[in-house]
Structure 1
Amino acid sequence: MLTLAALAGLLSVPVAVLLVEVIAALKAPKLEPFEVKELNIEKRVAVIVPAHNESSGLIPTLQDIRAQLGAGDRVIVVADNCTDDTAAVAAASGAEVIVRNDPERIGKGYAMGWGVTHLSADPPDFVLFVDADCRLQDGLIDGLKRTCHGVQRPVQALFIMRSAENSPINHSFAEFAWILRNWIRPLGLRNLRGPVQLMGTGMMFPWNAINSVPLASGHLVEDLKLGLDLAEAGRAPHFFPFVKVTSVFPTSAKGTESQRQRWVQGHLATIGKFVPRLLCVGLMRGDKHILALALDLLVPPLSLLALLIIGTTVLTSSAALLGGAWLPVLIALGNFAGFLLCVLLAWLKFGRQVFPAHEALSFGTFALKKIRFYGRMLVGGSASQWIRTDRSTPH
């Protein structure tokens, strides 16, 4: 009984965190004074675009960036271990280009660190990282710059993934999960005056913050690691949801699975590596920002959390019907009800456009696919550290 009760009780923590974040997100965000105040002094921004074989989609991204640059601002493309013409395309589009070739050390973190080292000869006031396949909303750079100047901490824009037009893959579940992860939960943390996780793109840093943390790594989710490192240094990221950067999901099954495998494996590895330490550091310092990020990190990917909750509910119910105790069942059912409430509230407020109600009828098929996905992930080894996501449509 104790083992099953403990198992169900452990799942209560991420469910409770998720429920608090979703409820807090139901309130519309308000602009802080520093987020609308004009800068009275010139501040220079350098935009770094890490790019690994991204020549086919790089031009629109650079056009969006260049349209928002002011006097003294720069855009630097880091052509990292490329085997295509990324460097030439970037140079022709008016970007500064630095080439990095080091096949022994592959990872987006290495490319980011290379770009920051390049800037150290003439440091800007702020550094903005943008992925090479993203589009920027008008006013994004200016809004992030004002906010970053006001908080003197990293600032994360809203990052949304959408399905490509005429995509052969139905990404409805993935789009809803993405909105919950990258919009609803950070919005809830913002409304609670808390920090957020970094999302990998659309993130701006004061120079003295980004220049003070190690970047060069092959970590699968370098954005999560970077945000946690900065939180430990007293500079937890701030969420600015009023501007957004967008990208599209892969349009091939291979690209979809490889991308999700990297995200899931990286997230789970980060939980195991960082959460115990962050909880200890946060408690010893009395730092609510570190504690908030540690608790937020405990929430696994939505599909995995759903499968764990369903699995524990079935397991505890079966044990109780065979003569076991009913306390684990009650805890498991509480988790199930709390999770359903989270999903319902999130869907009603934010998700109805991307996830129509009739799509829920296909949840059984989706769940079976996810079980197979996690099974393959367990036996298939680690994901690649940094490869360009396959976005080609199968013929």
Structure 2
Amino acid sequence: MITLLGWMFSALLLLIVLPVLVLFVQVLLACLPVRSLPSAQGSRPRVAVLVPAHNESSVIVATLSTILPQLLEGDRLLVVADNCSDDTAALARTAGAEVVERSNEHQRGKGYALDFGVRHLASVAPDVIIIVDADCQVGEGSIERLAICCIDSGRPTQSLNLMRAPAGSGLKVRLAEFAWCVKNLVRPRGWARLGLPCQLMGTGMAFAWRDLSLINLASGHIVEDLKMGLDFCRSGKPPLFCPDALVTSYFPRSEEGLTTQRTRWEHGHLGVILGDTPTLLVESIGKGNKNLLAMTLDLLVPPLALLTLVLVAALGLSWLVFLLTGTLAPALIASTGVAILGVTILLAWSQFGRGIISFTALLYAPFYALKKIPLYLGFVLKRQVEWVRSKRDDT
């Protein structure tokens, strides 16, 4: 009986270590000498940039000012002022954008705003539609690179999407910036070296107009970007990573804004992991869809803080089992997982994180993970399932 339980515990630990192995491979590949990744080569298609905005008067003008100079004759810039109670619409019009206003208290969320904007654009449809969040800065030349890459590849295209810690931010926010860098730069860069797709990241996304019929945008899904990427992949259009295009934004300064943002992202991600990945694994293997399998394996990697907490808990429990029963295999598996995770994080930091946090600050990461326990308990006790806008610093 003890032997059987030991084998079952070992099998469970192997499942826990699987995301660590995926992360290790991605980081290792990303650290290899630079090779050419997809870049803009062809002629520039006609573009519509769609900006969904809900009470974004404090940031909308700055965002539009980074987009407008990149547009050519025949392009469109559309702001969807979605359920706004401020002057977002007026400011966007003054800045030079085309604006439509949407009011529907029963259908709230970014997906509904995107669907509303796409239907408005349909009268004069562009070749490529690019989605940019209202609080983002679009890097110079990024609109052109995204549009050309999307048309040339025939696939949805994702820019490099980075979030920065505001000046003077504390250690917690700088650690969050490093974790974001690993998630949105290092991991997709590693997968791209194998010709594998990336997840869609919610902003800086380009789609050929004809491909929009493959997905349902009108959704209140809490992580609509993850859902869209998987839907495209199932339809034979795996998203492509285009690191030459850059979209940036800043973490909220307020603790309330940070908490709201993290809860939405992490509860949504965990919900997809638990609810969808078993089906996705069976589907991708059954159909021999390597791109969907790659996206599913990437999806299995939880936030770094949660991965650290789970592994450390598994390590302690497995060695306790060894002391009580003499079963060594689970302890060896858990110890190996912790060691690989440590090496992976150090490797990612050495190549990509030195400019974000110091090595001394990195050592604080386990304590940062402990502080996030209430967030993960909240997922079990009271999961957030609806879209909630992150509180800006002045709202």
For the aligned pair, the TM-score class normalised by the smaller chain equals over 0.9
The secondary structure found in structure 1 opposite 2:108 is coil
CA distance in 1, matches of 2:78, 2:245: 22
CA distance in 2, matches of 1:95, 1:140: 18
Equivalent pairs counted in the alignment come to 390
RMSD of aligned Cα (Å): 1.7
Q: In the alignment, which of 25, 30, 40 is matched to residue 25 of structure 1?
A: 30
CA distance in 2, matches of 1:47, 1:305: 36
The equivalent residue for 1:6 is: 11
Say if 1:170 and 1:336 are closer, same or farther in 2 by CA, change over 3 A: closer
Say if 1:376 and 1:214 are closer, same or farther in 2 by CA, change over 3 A: closer
CA distance in 1, matches of 2:34, 2:274: 32
Q: How does 1:315-330 map to 2 (within 5 A)?
A: 315-330=317-332
Letter in 1 for 2:376: Y
The equivalent residue for 1:99 is: 101
The equivalent residue for 2:119 is: 117
1:132-172 residue CA offsets vs partner (Å, 9 max, x unmatched): 00001100011111211110100100000011123367412
For residue 242 of structure 1, report the CA deviation from its aligned partner.
1.5
For residue 383 of structure 1, report the CA deviation from its aligned partner.
5.4
1:310-358 residue CA offsets vs partner (Å, 9 max, x unmatched): 0100011111112241110011011111111110110110011112111
Q: How does 1:1-395 map to 2 (within 5 A)?
A: 1-31=6-36, 35-39=39-43, 43-167=45-169, 170-382=172-384, 384-387=386-389, 389-392=390-393
The secondary structure found in structure 2 opposite 1:239 is strand
Runs of 4+ in 1 over 4 A off after TM superposition: none
For residue 211 of structure 1, report the CA deviation from its aligned partner.
3.3
Structure 2 segments unaligned to the other structure (5+ residues) = 1-5
Greater CA drift, 323-332 or 50-59: 323-332
For residue 113 of structure 1, report the CA deviation from its aligned partner.
1.0
Structure 1 segments unaligned to the other structure (5+ residues) = none
CA distance in 1, matches of 2:256, 2:40: 43
Letter in 2 for 1:35: S
TM-score of the superposed pair, with normalisation by structure 2: 0.95
Letter in 1 for 2:355: Q
CA distance in 2, matches of 1:107, 1:255: 17
For residue 393 of structure 1, report the CA deviation from its aligned partner.
7.2
For residue 276 of structure 1, report the CA deviation from its aligned partner.
2.2
The secondary structure found in structure 2 opposite 1:98 is strand
CA distance in 1, matches of 2:374, 2:31: 34
Letter in 2 for 1:313: L
The secondary structure found in structure 2 opposite 1:359 is helix
CA contact (8 A) 1:27 1:191 kept: no
CA distance in 1, matches of 2:171, 2:261: 14
CA distance in 2, matches of 1:175, 1:250: 12
For residue 247 of structure 1, report the CA deviation from its aligned partner.
0.4
CA contact (8 A) 1:35 1:150 kept: no
For residue 378 of structure 1, report the CA deviation from its aligned partner.
3.0
1:59-87 residue CA offsets vs partner (Å, 9 max, x unmatched): 01101110100110001001111111111
